[in-house]
Amino acid sequence: MMNEGMNSLDYEARVDRLREKMEDGGIDLSILYQRSNVRYFTGWRQNTTSFSILFITQDELVHMVPKLDKKAVESECWIGPSDTYEIPENPMRKYKEITGFDNNSIDNIGIESEIIFNSRLKNIKENIDCRFSDVQPLITSLRIIKSSAEQELLKEGALAISEVMTDIIEAAEEGMKEKDITAKAKMLMDLRGGETYSFEPFAMSGKNSWLPHRTSTDKKFKKNELILVDMGLVWRGYCTDITRTFTVGGEPDQKKIDLFDAAYEAQKEAKKKVGPGVKAKEVHERAVEVFEEYGLSEYFPHLTGHGLGYDIHEAPILDEGQEIELKPGMVVTVEPGVYKEGIGGARVEDMLLVTEKGHEELTKSERKLI
């Protein structure tokens, strides 16, 4: 039984590319704890309650895993038994013992500066006196461009989640609870072969959509109110994400239609912007512009989109101030939304692959207010 995705993705080549970047950046050793980074290089799908540690130098690769996982990792991960160790009480001391490095051989350690736990950084510093750099930008520069194998997975996943969305909207009816539709969504994502969910899916309706809530509750769907469902399945490690807004039981009133039209128009216009050479902030600015035309920009309280991959939110972020230029191979969501008290919430979200010529839409289900 192979861990999924082992065949089509070349994990070793990813490590080699990071090594090149480490050499250019003067980083002697990278120590990775973040689940998505560790999976990117090892291919190993961790149990949700455990964690692993990956040490990478030009010559060494050391994978520390929970005692309980060691046999499975040894027999299935591309990093073989000779480089796999049980996570000890003191990981950094153990790594020193394994590799025999000292203050002379390691001058600069790359860590995940933002999100490394205080206690883990302390453990490293207690065992070596050297400089520290943030290795995340180097890893992000790799992860942000999806290879053709990754694009294929994201396309498959986006199609699967689009079909689930179509089924969900068809199943929704008056009197159903927000939680019921989410339970159905999860079941359909499982049946489609999703590994798990990109995040806890949620439906928000009526008042819960304009607050806006981001969790499903026992509230029942009422006739003609706006209902928003946001969900994603994880397809062989890769996160997908889609949102649709719909109603049940008949035609909503004009105020709700106008609100939806604004969100949908903002999304269509923002999507048109997506292409190589465009700055991430420009996509967001276009959505803001449209909401301004509708006099609704103060009711648009979030970013326009985000990258997807092993994480549900990763680079690039389509938001104000984001100067990064879009490039072919990036995959992003576009999802401007508007939430107005007494009326409702409206958001349409798609996944787009940036191509040489512009973009390709990966999610496919009906977008109009149904």
What is the contact surface with a second copy in residues (CB under 8 A)?
A: 1, 4, 45, 47-50, 67-69, 71-72, 75, 111, 113-119, 121, 179, 182-183, 186-187, 190-191, 193, 196, 199-200, 202, 207-208, 210-215, 217-219, 301-302, 312-313
Distance CA 335, CA 350 (A): 7
For residue 301, the minimal CB distance to a second copy (Å) is 5
How many angstroms separate the CA atoms of 129 and 245, rounded? 54
Token output for 298: 């103060």
* Least distance from a second copy to the Cβ atom of residue 186, Å: 6
The minimum distance between CB 33 and a second copy, in angstroms, equals 11
Q: Does residue 129 sit in helix, strand or coil?
A: coil
Of 15 and 231, CB closest to a second copy: 231
29, 101 contact by CB (below 8 A): yes
CB of 58 to a second copy, least distance (A): 25
CB of 313 to a second copy, least distance (A): 6
Question: Between 192 and 327, whose beta carbon lies closer to a second copy?
Answer: 192
Minimum distance from residue 184 beta carbon to a second copy (Å): 8
Q: How far is the CB of 85 from a second copy (least distance, A)?
A: 14
| Shorter beta-carbon distance to a second copy: residue 171 or 191 | 191
CB hemisphere CA count around 126 (13 angstroms)? 11
Q: Residue 264 and residue 221: Cα distance in Å, rounded?
A: 22
What's the closest the beta carbon of residue 357 comes to a second copy, in angstroms? 32
Nearer to a second copy, 151 or 335 (CB): 335
Residue with the two structure tokens 């994978």: 63
Nearer to a second copy by Cβ, of 68 and 171: the residue is 68
Q: E-assigned strands of 3-105?
A: 29-32, 53-56, 61-65, 84-86
Nearer to a second copy, 67 or 255 (CB): 67
Q: Which is nearer to a second copy, 85 or 202 (CB)?
A: 202
Residues 59 and 105: their CA atoms lie apart, in Å, by 12
Q: How many CB atoms lie within 10 A of CB 250?
A: 8
What long-range pairs does 163-171 form, CB within 8 A, spacing at least 24? 163/192, 163/365, 164/188, 164/189, 164/192, 164/231, 164/233, 165/229, 165/231, 165/242, 165/244, 165/363, 165/365, 166/365, 166/366, 168/229, 168/231, 169/229, 169/244, 169/246, 169/365, 169/366, 169/370
We find the least distance from the C-beta atom of residue 275 to a second copy, in angstroms, to be 27
Closer of 213 and 286 to a second copy (Cβ):
213
Q: Which residues of 327-356 are buried (b: 16+ CB within 10 A; e: fewer)?
A: ebbbbbbbbbbbbbeebbbbbbbbbbbbee
Among residues 149 and 187, whose Cβ is nearest to a second copy?
187
Q: Using CA atoms of 145, 150, 152, 154 in order, give the dihedral in degrees to the nearest 10.
A: -80
* Residue 12 structure tokens: 């070793």
Does residue 343 contact residue 255 with C-beta atoms inside 8 Å?
Answer: yes
Q: At its nearest, how many Å lie between a second copy and the CB of residue 203?
A: 13
Using the minimum distance from each CB to a second copy, give the nearer residue, 125 or 223: 125
